[in-house]
Amino acid sequence: MSDEFIARVTDWIAGDPDETDRETLELLVRDGPREELRRRFAAPLTFGTAGLRGPVMAGPAGMNRYTVRRATQGVAAWLAAGPVDQRRGVVVGRDARRGSEAFNDEVVAVLLGAGIPVYEMPGPLPTPLVPYAVRALHAAAGVMITASHNPPQDNGYKLYDASGAQIVPPDDELVERFATTATTPALGTRADPDYHRVPDSLLAEYRRHALARFSPPAPSDLVIVYTPLHGVGGATMTSLLAAAGYENVHVVPEQFEPDARFPTLPFPNPEEPGALDLAIARAVELNADLVLANDPDADRLGAAVRDGEAWRTLRGDEIGWLLASALLPEAAASDVVATTIVSSSMLEAMARDAGVACVTTLTGFKWIARAAPGRTLAFGYEEALGFAVDDRVADKDGMTAALALARLADELAAHGETLLDRLDALESRYGVHAVDQLALRVEGPEGRDRIAAMVARLRRDPPRQLGGEPVVEVVDLATGWRGLAPTEGVVLHAPPTRVVVRPSGTEAKVKAYFEVVVGPDERPLLDQRRAARSLLGDVRAQVASYFE
């Protein structure tokens, strides 16, 4: 190893406030595997999708107290240099993952030491409460310690600006620049007069508003199974459902209490195959009507419904269509709905029909939340199970989305219909929108380089046809597109097929998103769906060859 590399390691050890982490790194320097030392230092975590996310481990490539301390110094410097008065304070929250409490403590101490008031959440709570509190308290910013739906070994740091939305460029670049030049900070304590707890009355107002907006008109006999997937949403969500009038709510006991090990799940993400297996088994046992699931920080919503004698997990796009069908009739003509370039195009058709503007953004709620400047965002969604159903939270919110979906299911049941009946009606009217995705996870420090090479290959040598239809447009998202900011990714259009390939912003994964639109036409809906799924399968197999 070069002298320069060893000097970097030594400097990091000297500044690291965690004794255990220092000892780990010193042992690696002395006689540990050199590959492991490189893994921890070769690719430091940087502010990306509105913050940091990575494995909990010592060194700049991991989430640890020193990484969080430096990041928070970057936030403090960013606030000091920005247009918003930092004396408005910062809301600080955390989930129940490994390291979250210690990282939360670092954020509080560094901000108070910098003379910035802190409003701390009273324990591990769902992520949406932080952006809600930022707006409600007129705070300067918000920090949430969470890795959302990432694997158990990860943690993260999410940053919101004064609007309550996740930060976007160039703010993330400024925070990163300030963090890299951080020195030893002054640290405050909770005895400081600038320290405050987020008042219970504010959290009660979130609850009151959500219930007033999304409760059914009368007590519901809908049988619901709910799981927080070992996360922090359990107590809050079950309380909301009970107060809304759902009298038959049952939980998955093995997954109800927060548990950073996520012992029943390989990946604590409701999108992952098998994530809802325990909930569906419970639903079968209880002859339930609906399964609702939050991810571990409760900003996403998964759902499953009965389909004859079987159960079917709904895709994010399908939940998006269902929620849009309920919310668009309530929207004003001046309102806006929004979705992303990798989500289904059906929302655009639905909004056009309703006379409401629809905006397509880059992936991520930091962009969706900004889709309606000066107007009301009546609804926003992304296919990765993120839904914004109320503009008091400038981010995705799996709890209010769950209330909204349950209300729709209850309303349909009162007319002898189901959520699947509503999906049939939507596809009969707007055409079958068959969607799918393909993901490749690449482990190790070279993972992101491999992913970049895959995307570069597709950009350099795209297919000439998809599913037998000619590719009529190849879009390099790195150059910007339709007014969107540049980002990594490629879009292929071969009507009726669209493919978007892009690296994940939070994990070492590359994803391909597929959509095939068939109809509406005179054929039975089932025949249209078969045709769409057949074409989709052909295209998926073709694109998969680029990942080999």
CATH of the domain at 393: 3.40.120.10
User: What burial class does residue 222 get, using C-beta atoms within 10 Å of its C-beta: 0-12 exposed, 13-18 middle, 19+ buried?
Assistant: buried
d(CA 148, CA 368): 18
C-alpha–C-alpha distance, residues 31 and 261, integer Å: 30
Name the residue range of residue 424's domain: 204-429
> Of 198, 225, 246, at which residue does a domain stop?
198
Same domain, 244 and 370: yes
For 146, counting Cβ atoms within 10 Å of its Cβ (0-12 exposed, 13-18 middle, 19+ buried), the class is buried
Largest Cα–Cα distance in the chain?
74
Are residues 241 and 371 part of one domain? yes
User: Are 122 and 181 contained in the same domain?
Assistant: yes
Low-confidence ranges of the chain (pLDDT < 70): 49-50, 444-446, 505-507
> Do 276 and 290 meet the contact criterion of CB atoms below 8 Å apart?
no
Contact 243, 207 (CB under 8 A): yes
- Last residue of some domain: 429, 454, 472? 429
Strands (E), 371-415: 377-382, 386-388
Cα–Cα distance between 92 and 53 in angstroms, integer?
A: 17
Q: Pull the structure tokens for residue 32.
A: 């540990």
Contact 125, 97 (CB under 8 A): no
Whole-number Å distance between alpha carbons of 346 and 517: 9
Give me the CATH number covering residue 494. Answer: 3.30.310.50
Tokens describing residue 378: 């009546």
Q: Are residues 218 and 276 in the same domain?
A: yes
Considering the domain architecture, whether residues 393 and 455 belong to the same structural domain is answered as no
SS3 call for 382: strand
277 and 243 housed in the same domain: yes
Q: What is the DSSP string of 94-159?
A: E-SSTTHHHHHHHHHHHHHHTT--EEE-SSS--TTHHHHHHHHHT-SEEEEE--TTS-TTEEEEEE
- Check whether residue 280 and residue 329 sit in a common domain: yes
* Interatomic CA distance for residues 29 and 37, integer angstroms: 7
How many domains in the chain?
Answer: 3
In a shared domain, residues 176 and 188: yes
Q: According to the model, what pLDDT value does residue 49 have?
A: 59
Could you report the per-residue pLDDT of 448-505, keeping only the tens digit for each?
777 888 888 888 889 999 999 999 999 999 888 888 988 889 999 999 999 999 887 6
Quote the pTM value.
Answer: 0.94
Active site residues: 148
* Residues 110 and 249 occupy one common structural domain: no
Q: Are residues 482 and 369 in the same domain?
A: no
Contact present, 492 and 466 (Cβ < 8 Å): yes
* Backbone CA torsion sign across 369, 48, 54, 504: positive
Q: What was the pLDDT predicted at 50?
A: 61
Give yes or no: residues 242 and 354 share one domain: yes
The answer to whether the CB of 145 falls within 8 A of the CB of 88 is no
Tokens of 295: 């991810």
What is the pLDDT, as a whole number, of residue 158?
97
Please report how the helices 398-413 and 419-430 are oriented relative to each other, as an axis angle in degrees rounded to 10: 90
The tens digit of pLDDT for each residue in 19-34 reads 999 999 999 999 878 8
Same domain, 28 and 133: yes
Number of Cβ within a 10 Å radius of residue 151: 15
